[in-house]
Amino acid sequence: MNFQRFMAIVKKEFIQIKKDKASFGLVIMMPLMMILLFGYAVATELDNISIDILDQNHTAESRQLIKSFENTLYFKVQSQVNNIDEIDHDMKTGKIHAAVIIPPDYSQKLTKQAQPQIQLLVDGSDPTTARTVFNSGVMAAQQLGVKVMNEMANKSPQKISTGGIDVSTKVLYNPELRNQNFTIPGLIGLIMQNITILLTAFTLVRERERGTIEQLIVSPIKSYELILGKLLPYILIGFFDFLYALAFGVWWFDVPNNGNLLLLILLGAGFIICALAIGVLISTIAKTQLQAMQLTLLALLPSILLSGFVFPREAMPKFIQLIGYSVPLTYFLNILRGIVLKGVDINYLFNDVVMLLILGVILLTLSIFRFRKKLD
């Protein structure tokens, strides 16, 4: 082997890598992004879980109970509500994951050495969060009950008859805490996104590599006709995959659909357009199918980690949560799980629908503008 010729080939490859700015950038950014995302987003320990408090007692004893929940560091009181309807609204909109209801006779039973009962309502649509709420909530009440018993024993040891605090729990929307009820709706959104982005990005780049896109450009076809003609088939394919995955998930995994199917289909079509726009953006940046694959992975990885598909977003640092707000899948997962598991209507999903619409308009406008610029 001639060492000089060998080194010439090595030098040539490094020059080509340097000239391929997209691939060179991925080599630098991909490890950094993956370490940051996995390091911060992959968190299974939950804290600061949002809860509502319905305090019907309004005494020092009830405030002590609320403080005991906050002292666990697992819970963050979102608001102190006045009735059960406010709890129902906050839970359906996803503002809270649980609620504590303190009865009017809580302090009276506690001071009379009886056993007061509080109620813990848990949103079971996310089994991981629900189990943490269940275990931590019961533990907080029991620890306070033991503390109260000890205080009473010091005052009058002959009169102790209380059994502490009884916690009555009720799991809503997914009483059996089935993981499939949480993961299957998320998978439906993920499948829609991945297939639409992959097909759109790869097909346009493939045509550019083969030179067929130039033949279409020089034809009498107008640019908007070409753009719409290229995009419409992938909208239909993504829509078909959405219905197919939804039907299979409901039938095979026995996931209940408690909401309006027509509303879910309508909002699903909006999400497909968002995914389509991302695919078109990738196609305007990538020059080869390899680059399209790399950029697609770069786009899909954050959406899987930051959207709440696998890991609860509440466990992530605040700045990672803020990045997740820029991912369309974040809002569509809320819509999917809200309709399928909670059976909510569009009034409870208004914020997610508006944000999905805004992101869709921005992405679609940017993708069409860049695509037309490429054509020109």
Percent of the chain residues topping a pLDDT of 70: 85
Residue 123 lies in a domain: yes
179-231 pLDDT tens trace? 888 888 988 888 888 888 888 888 777 777 777 766 766 767 776 677 777 77
In this structure, is residue 4 part of a structural domain? no
183 shares a domain with 168: no
In whole angstroms, what is the distance from residue 319 CA to residue 143 CA?
A: 34
Last residue of a domain, one of 140, 172, 204: 172
Residue that terminates a domain, selected from 172, 195, 223: 172
Is residue 189 within 8 A of residue 352, CB to CB? The reply is no
Structural domain for 132, as ranges: 49-172
pLDDT-based confidence at residue 122 (cuts at 50, 70, 90): very high
The confidence band for 232, taking pLDDT boundaries of 50, 70 and 90, is confident
Same domain, 220 and 310: yes
Structure tokens given for 259: 């909401």
Residues 185 and 133 in one domain: no
Q: How many domains does the chain have?
A: 2
274-300 pLDDT, tens digit per residue, is 898 898 888 888 877 878 888 888 888
Do 223 and 366 fall within a single domain? yes
State the residue for tokens 């909510």: 344
Q: What is the CATH number of the domain that holds 69?
A: 3.40.1710.10
Could you tell me if residue 184 is inside a domain?
yes
Domain match, 159 and 280 both: no
Residue 330 and residue 356: Cα distance in Å, rounded? 9
- Per-residue pLDDT band at 376 (split at 50, 70, 90): low
- For residues 160 and 197, membership in a common domain is answered with no
pTM: 0.82
With pLDDT > 90 as the criterion, what percentage of the chain qualifies? 22
Q: Is residue 9 part of a domain?
A: no
Residues 140 and 183 in one domain: no
Assess whether 160 and 218 both reside in one domain.
no
Is 38 inside any structural domain?
no
For residues 95 and 184, membership in a common domain is answered with no
Lowest mean pLDDT among 58-62, 136-140, 221-225, 338-342: 221-225
Q: Is the dihedral of CA 13, 14, 19, 22 positive or negative?
A: positive
Alpha helices in the chain (DSSP H): 3-19, 21-41, 60-71, 84-92, 106-111, 127-155, 179-210, 212-217, 223-252, 261-285, 289-306, 318-324, 328-337, 350-375
Indicate whether 37 belongs to any domain. Answer: no
Q: What is the C-alpha separation between 281 and 295, in angstroms, rounded?
A: 10
Strand ranges of the sheet holding 75-80, from the earlier edge strand across to the other edge: 75-80, 49-55, 98-102, 117-123, 166-172
Nearest to 41 by CA among 351, 298, 334, 322: 322
User: Concatenated DSSP letters for 119-131?
Assistant: EEEEETTSHHHHH
**Position 103 in a domain:** yes
Same domain, 126 and 273: no
Could you say which of 121, 156, 172 is where a domain stops? 172
Regarding whether 164 and 85 lie in a shared domain, the answer is yes
Query: Looking at per-residue confidence, does 296 or 112 come out higher?
Result: 296
| Average pLDDT value over all residues in the chain | 83
On whether both 111 and 94 belong to a single domain, the answer is yes
On whether residue 31 sits in a domain, the answer given is: no
Task: Sort residue 170 into left (φ over 0), alpha (ψ -120 to 50) or beta.
Answer: beta
